[in-house]
Every structure is written in C-alpha cells, then in structure tokens.
Structure 1
Amino acid sequence: MPLLVEVLGIILNAFVMLIIIQFVIGLLFAFNVINQSNQFAAQVYNSINALLEPILRPVRSILPNTGAIDFSPLVLIIGLQILMAVVRSV
C-alpha cells in the first residue's frame, strides 16, 4: 500500500508541474516575452494543453466566468493537493 501511495504522489506531482509549466508559458505568450511563432514553445504549450484540457474542462464548467483570468489551474492544483493529503492519511 505505501508503494501505491508513493506512485500516486509522483503522478499527482507531475500533473502539478505540468499545470505550472502551462501557466508560465501562457503568461510568457500573453505578455509577448515569447513570440507565439516560436515553434518549440508553441509545440510544448500545445502538447501540455492537450494533456490537461480534458482535466481542466470540467473544472472550468463549474467555475464562474471571470473574464481573462482562468482560475481552473489553481483550483485543480488545490484539489490535487487535497486528494494527496487524503490518500496519505489512509
């Protein structure tokens, strides 16, 4: 059982890292630090977005529309941390 908890923790931490990377690249695109015509950055962003979109879509449908600010990654990170705390306590 402890091995399963550790493996689940590694997977959840990987998802949190991907969410943070997606957020940072999105900010860099939004503030024109990185041009969207940069193929490498765009490809990394699109790949991470393709992985996370099925997970973020239900969270976005629950949250109210806040305009340009997307709080779904933050809510997902908090939810994953709560899930990990529950799993570790069992």
Structure 2
Amino acid sequence: MQSLYQILMLLLDVAWFIMIAHIIMSWLISFQVLNLHQPLVANIWSGLNRLLEPIYAPIRRVLPATAGLDLAPLVAFIALIAIRIILQNNAALFF
C-alpha cells in the first residue's frame, strides 16, 4: 500500500509541475515575453492546453463568467494542493 501512496503523490507532483508551467507560460505570453508564432512555443503551449483542458473545462462551466480573467487554473491548483494535503494527512492508511 505504501507504493500506492507514493505513486499517487508522484502523479500529483507531475500534475503540479505541469500546472505551474502552464500558469507561468500564460503570464509570459500575456506580457509578450514569449511569442506564439515561434513553433516551439506554440507546440509547448498547445500540448499544455491539451493536457489541462479536460481539467479546466468542468471548472469553467461551474464558475461565473469573468471578463478577461480565467479562474479555472487557480481553482484547479487549489484543489490539487487540497488533495495532496488530504493524502499526506491520511498517509497512515496506506502503510
């Protein structure tokens, strides 16, 4: 059971890294540090969007519409941290 706990924590760590990369990249694109006309940047951005859109889409349906501000990544990030905390606090159940 300990290996199940470690696998879940690894998956949460990978998801956390991908979400952080997506959030930072969106800021860099918004402030025109990165240009989506560059093929590498466009491919990375497209890949991150394809990975995270299944997570963000249901959250966007529930959240109220805000003009120009997407809160779905923030809600998903907080949920990911909450799941991680819950797993860590209940780690004894896995051992």
Tell me how far apart the structure 2 counterparts of residues 13 and 73 of structure 1 sit (CA, whole Å): 16
**Structure 2 equivalent of residue 9 of structure 1:** 9
Tell me how far apart the structure 2 counterparts of residues 85 and 31 of structure 1 sit (CA, whole Å): 33
Letter in 2 for 1:39: P
Q: Using the TM superposition, give the Cα deviation of residue 15 of structure 1 relative to its aligned residue in structure 2, in angstroms.
A: 0.8
Aligned residues: 90
Q: Using the TM superposition, give the Cα deviation of residue 6 of structure 1 relative to its aligned residue in structure 2, in angstroms.
A: 1.2
Q: Using the TM superposition, give the Cα deviation of residue 88 of structure 1 relative to its aligned residue in structure 2, in angstroms.
A: 2.8
Q: Which ranges of structure 1 fall in alignment gaps of 5 or more residues?
A: none
SS of residue paired to 1:80? helix
**Structure 1 equivalent of residue 80 of structure 2:** 80
1:25 equivalent in alignment to 2:48: no
**Structure 1 equivalent of residue 59 of structure 2:** 59
TM-score normalised by length of structure 1: 0.90
Identity %: 30
Q: Which ranges of structure 2 fall in alignment gaps of 5 or more residues?
A: 91-95
Q: Using the TM superposition, give the Cα deviation of residue 89 of structure 1 relative to its aligned residue in structure 2, in angstroms.
A: 2.8
Task: Summarize deviations over 1:28-87 as a string: whole Å, max 9, x none.
Answer: 111111111111011001001101101110011111112111111111111111112222
CA RMSD of aligned residues (A): 1.2
Tell me how far apart the structure 2 counterparts of residues 10 and 69 of structure 1 sit (CA, whole Å): 30
Letter in 2 for 1:18: I
Pair member with larger Rg = 2
Tell me how far apart the structure 2 counterparts of residues 17 and 84 of structure 1 sit (CA, whole Å): 13
Structure 1 segments, 4+ long, off by >3 Å, are: none
TM-score normalised by length of structure 2: 0.85
